[in-house]
Amino acid sequence: MEQIDKTRLPRHIAIIMDGNGRWAEEKGQDRLYGHFHGVASVRNIVEGCAELGIEYLTLYAFSTENWDRPQQEVDGLMTLLVDTIRKEVNDLNKNNIRLHVIGDMNMLPKLAFTELQEALEMTKLNTGLNLLMALSYSSRWELVNAVKNIGRDVKSGKIDPATINQDTLQQYLSTSNFPDPELMIRTGGEYRISNFLLYQLAYAELYFTNTRWPDFRKENLYEAIIDFQNRERRYGKTGRQIQEETQLA
């Protein structure tokens, strides 16, 4: 933690929490055992981000495609979601953490939906870490939705198609109120994005680790941040331009 430069922290970290199922299977257990242990990692990483003063943390917890998993696993995950929110809301409030959800909440079972609504309401005045849970989320779902809504607003005359620019599109995404992630971490050893924040990750630094999500702890997060801080972010410019700009600043 001491090695982290606190003046150059990413404002927004996004994490694909992957590897729960394999973690459990490697221990001869049911996949749900892995999801259950993944909750401890969520708690630890949320705490770690809050301590560091990270402003936004997005956790990919359940994708649109995950609805196609065996019913027993989906049901188990939804039950775990409801239980976890119930247990954690007080701690979120104690730590000044505000919960947000991105994704198609209408797809969620009624109980999960109402439980989440309540948690959103109960934490809405908190001003510390913004915790964005990506639930029933996929980037293509989000982009299709955005296009639909832009079409609707063009048709009603609310926007002129000639004025549509990148800011317009950004305003129609579920992350309209949040800056783009600077650092995206994927645990579990896969090197892919799996339909996560495709638009928002345009210039994010990507960090992949073999560590399974249930084993991921603050120390692993610190390693990812240090790795991030050692990279040169060029945004299409040359290294020399970037070095000159940082010398001027």
- Minimum separation from the CB atom of position 18 to Mg ion (A): 4
Site for ligand IPE (CB under 6 A): which residue of 51, 75, 190, 245?
Answer: 190
Q: Which of residues 75-114 bind ligand IPE (CB under 6 A)?
A: 77
194 part of the interface to ligand IPE, by CB under 6 A: yes
How many Cβ atoms from other residues are within 10 Å of residue 69's Cβ?
16
Tell me, yes or no, if 66 is annotated catalytic.
yes
Angle ∠(11,127,99) on CA atoms, nearest 5: 80
Residue 102 token pair: 């991105």
**CA 116 to CA 89: how far, in whole Å?**
10
Residue 126 · residue 92 · CB < 8 Å: yes
Q: How many CA atoms lie within 13 A of 27 on its CB side?
A: 15
Catalytic residue among 5, 30, 44, 66: 66
Q: Which of 33, 36, 62, 172 binds ligand IPE (CB under 6 A)?
A: 62
By the rule CB under 5 A, 34 interacts with Mg ion: no
Pull the structure tokens for residue 31.
Answer: 């996949």
Among 15, 18, 45, 62, binds Mg ion (CB under 5 A): 18
| 50 burial via Cβ count (<10 Å: 0-12, 13-18, 19+) | middle
45 binds ligand IPE (CB under 6 A): no
Residue with Cβ nearer Mg ion (29 or 170): 29
Residues binding ligand IPE: what is the number (CB under 6 A)? 17
The minimum distance between CB 197 and Mg ion, in angstroms, equals 17
Q: Residue 115 Cβ, how far from Mg ion at the closest point, in Å?
A: 24
Query: 9 or 17: whose CB is closer to ligand IPE?
Result: 17
Helix residue spans in 27-181 (DSSP H): 31-52, 71-94, 110-122, 139-155, 166-171
Site residues for ligand IPE, 63-82, by CB under 6 A, read 63, 66, 77
* Helix and strand totals (H; E) in the chain: 8, 6
Q: Report the residue number, 140 or 152, with the smaller CB distance to ligand IPE.
A: 140
**b/e per residue 166-177 (b: at least 16 CB within 10 A):** eeeebebbbbee
Catalytic site residue 91?
no
Decide which of ligand IPE, Mg ion, none touches 22; Cβ closer than 5 to 8 Å per partner kind.
Answer: ligand IPE
Q: Which is closer to Mg ion, CB of 18 or CB of 88?
A: 18
Angle (CA) 56-222-131 rounded to 5° is 20
> Which of the residues are catalytic?
18, 66
Residues binding ligand IPE (CB under 6 A) = 16-22, 60-63, 66, 77, 188, 190, 192, 194
Residues binding Mg ion (CB under 5 A) = 18
